[in-house]
Copies of this chain bind each other. A is one copy, B any other.
Amino acid sequence: MDELKKLVRELSKLNHQNMYNDDFLLTWEKTDDEIQSVFKVAEILRNMRENNISPKIFDSGLGISLFRDNSTRTRFSFSSACNLLGLEVQDLEEGKSQIAHGETVRETANMISFMADVIGIRDDMFIGKGNAYMRQVSEAVRDGYEQGVLEQRPTLVNLQCDIDHPTQTMADMAHLINYYGGIEHLKGKKIAMTWAYSPSYGKPLSVPQGVIGLMTRMGMEVSLAHPEGYDLMPEVEDIARQNALVSGGKFVKTSSMKEAFQDADIVYPKSWAPFHAMEKRTNLYGEGKFDEIKELEKELLLQNAFHKDWECSEDMMNLTKDGKALYLHCLPADITGVSCKEGEVSASVFDRYRVPLYKQAGYKPYIIASMIFLSKVKNPVQMMNLLLNKKHERCLR
């Protein structure tokens, strides 16, 4: 309980009042205090659960999930977060490939929201579409609320879009904070966010983009490495550059995996698709040119195959700080000789980091719950004190 009270006191020093009734769409739209508040509330919620104290703030209410791409871990994280706070999850199932727009989005958003407190959306398949779609939904329910259609305004949580994957990268950073014993220890640490080979094509760019957009804020040295042609969205790179300037960190680009790994404290090797190819694919979908999409996919696989040496092998790991960099991945990873013939990471490296990797993933439910909490509770510090005094048990045992 002392630890919990200390955490609440720390939360009280952060300014998070603008998070009330607001969405969580991109980390770089949030202030440093707001980002830190998410970590703090997540930590409090985790601590409460470990002490069997229920943080349930809803007696009823729905958490709507809309997954326009497959998901297991984020789906379960969202469910867990909603359930922890007292919301029941209701899935909205749409055809995966169809890109809804205009009237339909506005109407559906309102129709599902009469008793919804939060809407979580994954829409990461189409460059230029996913985040825009979330904003349409947000605008629709904000308008519905203001017009008296909705009794409450459901707030949005970005469960991965074409630009950012905030619940993932915030969970990644929560892992780093715990690993290094405090957010203040991240300053000066070198993280290598690198491309890695995978036998599949078209993996979203939102993780590497989210990582360079978030990690550059904490005074970290972010080294982005990828083969030529595998560029990220230039706007996000600009944000990373700007963040580094402000935070006293660094943002460096290289086309050598080795250079990025050299003396790194943390490595995050992961496959993604070239931005321009994804942009092209989105347009081809829009035009219904499915034969050309197949053609494009073939090209991308071929292009990937040139870079099989971009693997997080033991040799690569040996280049890192004392050969012991912390290995990160959003999972599932393509493991050489296990899930594929040649992949992102060698089996022995993956094996050695399995437990930390699972822990990394374990922060996501709390990060999502924290985002919901901060957007639904007007005075989070007061509410935490209330919950700690109530000490309602999570389970009788």
Contact = CB atoms under 8 A, between A and B. Distances in A.
Given A151-B50, A359-B149, A378 B365 contact: no
A117 to B, nearest CB: 7
B76 A365 contact: no
A389 interface: no
Contact of A383 (B114, B332, B396): B396
A83 B108 contact: no
26 contacts: A56-B60, A57-B396, A57-B397, A58-B394, A60-B85, A60-B86, A62-B76, A72-B108, A76-B92, A80-B115, A84-B115, A86-B395, A88-B89, A103-B335, A103-B339, A107-B358, A110-B361, A111-B331, A115-B365, A147-B355, A148-B359, A149-B355, A150-B362, A377-B397, A383-B396, A383-B397
Interface string A358-369: 110110110000
A72 B359 CA distance: 35
Contacts of A72: 92, 108, 111-112
A73 interface: yes
A372 to B, nearest CB: 11
Given A62-B79, A338-B103, A376 B397 contact: yes
Given A56-B60, A339-B103, A377-B397, A73 B147 contact: no
Contacts of A60: 54, 56, 83-86, 394
A392 interface: yes
A386 interface: yes
A59 interface: yes
A62 B365 CA distance: 12
A49 interface: yes
Interface string A106-143: 01101110111100000000000000000000000000
A393 B86 CA distance: 12
Given A50-B151, A90-B76, A111-B361, A117 B395 contact: yes
A338 B102 contact: yes
Contacts of A110: 358, 361
A97 interface: no
Interface string A169-213: 000000000000000000000000000000000000000000000
Contacts of A396: 57-58, 377, 383, 386
A98 interface: no
A72 B107 CA distance: 11
A77 interface: yes
Contact of A59 (B56, B148, B364): B56
Contacts of A383: 396-397
Contacts of A335: 103
A151 B394 CA distance: 13
Contacts of A117: 395
Interface in A290-335: 331-332, 335
A61 interface: yes
A274 interface: no
Interface in A197-246: none
Contact of A83 (B46, B62, B359, B377): B62
Contact of A76 (B58, B59, B111, B339): B111
B331 A114 contact: no
A269 interface: no
B149 A395 contact: no
A90 B50 CA distance: 22
A377 B102 CA distance: 42
A157 B58 CA distance: 26
